[in-house]
């Protein structure tokens, strides 16, 4: 969880939010803390120093298959190709409930939800690493408010693990993974009354169809349950990003559960199709952000830039952004670009450098130590021919994160 206020305020916010505002049922956490689905826990001895509660959403409707126009005597223009949805595999009957055992829960220190969550996921496979081992590697700068999913994936791979990281997950996929013994890291939005909205990782460990809830280990709130719909509404803020960490010995088993999603091209095509359908139906900033990212992932930066324009032009959702500063403009939550860099990439790739400078300037106004903002600012300055300023921005990104390979590579090209 990123960008919090003082620990005293956050503890109060967490207790109030966990009890009422967000309607999540806390689970009892036993002495062994080995399971993710029990009942209401006691208040932890070391309360978490960050914050983030949650709403939760509705799975996107499947998009219709494209309609092929009926040809006439004159050959019609070639329509844009929309990938057909993958052939459905024989439906697997899932149990009504499932829980992944053997996972160690840990409460986070300030802004440590990323290191804690990847540590909890690794504990499923026997790792004893905790945030004090992991955070120094993922967050060498104390002011780092964001650890990206890609950084989590790279860390897990460095531990010898396989990783499947993708966008466009859905409830059925999550239930299938959990029923097969695979806990799932999800990136979600998190809202507190005092600090507002921000990004937050959670580790899903089980589900109960009868109650309509997922079980999760939350590094700030502790073990909890989240209603399917409310969870999805928070998850869609990050394009339903999910990350699965497994030892190589489980590679075949995971591929069997993922089915067609194990093929990156098919997964991205389906994510694009579903994102387009949801953006049309919801017509909101989050939907356009998700669609723009899917278009960018598909290699269409121009379409992505146009869609991101629609995200910024949409009306802001105050439920996601209750502490939005007056100076913030556009439809996205004011912290959205702390975590989602698709707009910065699309505008850079389409030569809209001045816009990138404006957006990164707004991020750095709030978080001067945001290394990704310095990186994309450097890319824009390079495009404008301001080489000395670009080099300084790359160096600052590298000072904040010495292992930032992309920044190192671009600086070496100067």
Q: What is the pLDDT of residues 272-320, one digit of tens each?
A: 999 999 999 999 999 999 999 999 999 999 999 999 999 999 999 999 9
> Average pLDDT of 96-115?
96
DSSP state of 259: G
Q: What percent of the chain has pLDDT over 70?
A: 78
Tokens 């989590």 map to which residue? Answer: 152
- Domains of the chain, each with CATH number or no CATH: 7-55+92-262 (3.90.70.10)
The pLDDT-based confidence of 143 (bands split at 50, 70, 90) is confident
> Average pLDDT of 84-104?
79
Using DSSP's 3-state secondary structure scheme, residue 47 falls into coil
Give yes or no for residue 357 having a pLDDT over 80: yes
Give dist(CA 343, CA 291) in Å, integer: 11
> Average pLDDT of 340-350?
98
What tokens were used for 344? 């910065």
Give yes or no for residue 66 having a pLDDT over 90: no
Give yes or no for residue 40 having a pLDDT over 80: no
Q: Are strands 184-192 and 196-208 parallel, antiparallel or unpaired?
A: antiparallel
Give dist(CA 150, CA 190) in Å, integer: 20
Q: What is the model's pLDDT at position 92?
A: 75
Q: What is the model's pLDDT at position 1?
A: 59
Residue 360 CA neighbour count, 13 Å, CB half: 27
Residues facing residue 208 across a β-bridge: 97, 213
CA nearest to 82, candidates 363, 298, 285: 298
Phi, psi of 272 (to 5 degrees): -65, -45
Give yes or no for residue 46 having a pLDDT over 50: no
What tokens were used for 18? 């966990």
Q: What is the model's pLDDT at position 142?
A: 80
Q: How is 129-163 classified by DSSP, letter by letter? A: --HHHHHHHH--STT-----HHHHHHHHHHTT-EE
What tokens were used for 284? 């909101």
Q: pTM for the complete prediction?
A: 0.79
What tokens were used for 6? 């003082």
Least confident of 2-11, 146-155, 251-260: 2-11
Angle of CA points 10, 365, 350, to nearest 5°: 120
Tokens 């505008």 map to which residue? Answer: 347
The pLDDT-based confidence of 239 (bands split at 50, 70, 90) is very high
Give dist(CA 349, CA 301) in Å, integer: 7
**Per DSSP, which regions of 40-177 are E strands?**
97-99, 162-166
More confident residue, 208 or 31: 208
Give dist(CA 389, CA 11) in Å, integer: 41
Give yes or no for residue 20 having a pLDDT over 60: no
Give yes or no for residue 402 having a pLDDT over 50: yes
């Amino acid at each position: 969880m990123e960008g919090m206020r003082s620990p005293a305020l956050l503890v109060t916010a967490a207790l109030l939010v966990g009890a009422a505002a967000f309607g999540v049922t806390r689970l009892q956490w036993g002495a062994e803390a080995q399971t993710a689905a029990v009942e209401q826990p006691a208040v932890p001895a070391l309360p978490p120093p960050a914050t983030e509660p949650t709403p939760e959403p509705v799975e996107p409707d499947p998009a219709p298959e494209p309609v092929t126009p009926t040809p006439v005597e004159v050959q019609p223009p070639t329509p844009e190709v929309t990938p057909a949805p993958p052939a459905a595999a024989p439906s697997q009957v899932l149990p009504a409930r499932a829980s992944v055992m053997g996972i160690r829960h840990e409460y986070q220190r300030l802004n440590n939800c990323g290191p804690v969550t990847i540590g909890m996921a690794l504990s499923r496979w026997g790792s004893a690493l905790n945030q004090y081992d992991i955070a120094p590697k993922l967050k060498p700068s104390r002011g780092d408010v964001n650890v990206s999913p890609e950084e989590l994936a790279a860390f897990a791979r460095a531990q010898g693990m396989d990783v499947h990281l993708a966008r466009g997950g859905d409830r059925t996929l999550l239930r299938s993974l959990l029923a097969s013994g695979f806990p799932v890291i999800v990136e979600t939005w998190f809202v507190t009354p005092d600090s507002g909205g921000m990004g937050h990782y959670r580790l899903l460990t089980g589900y109960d169809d009868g109650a309509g809830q997922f079980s999760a280990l939350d590094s700030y709130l502790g073990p909890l349950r989240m209603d399917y719909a409310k969870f999805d509404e928070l998850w869609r803020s990050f394009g339903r990003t999910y990350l699965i960490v497994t030892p190589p010995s489980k590679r075949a088993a995971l591929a069997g559960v993922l089915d067609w999603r194990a093929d990156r091209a098919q997964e991205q095509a389906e994510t694009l199709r579903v994102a387009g359908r949801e953006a049309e139906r919801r017509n909101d900033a989050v939907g356009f952000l998700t669609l723009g990212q899917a278009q960018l992932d598909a290699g269409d930066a121009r379409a992505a830039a146009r869609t991101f324009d629609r995200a910024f032009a949409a009306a802001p959702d105050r439920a996601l952004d209750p502490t939005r500063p007056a100076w913030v403009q556009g439809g996205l939550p004011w912290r959205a670009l702390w975590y989602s860099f698709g707009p910065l990439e699309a505008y850079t790739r389409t030569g809209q450098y001045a816009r990138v400078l404006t957006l990164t300037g707004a991020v750095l106004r709030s978080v001067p130590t945001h290394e990704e903002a310095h990186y994309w600012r450097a890319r824009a300055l390079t495009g404008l021919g301001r080489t000395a300023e670009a080099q300084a921005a790359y160096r600052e990104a590298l000072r904040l994160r010495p292992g930032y390979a992309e920044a190192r590579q671009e600086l070496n090209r100067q």
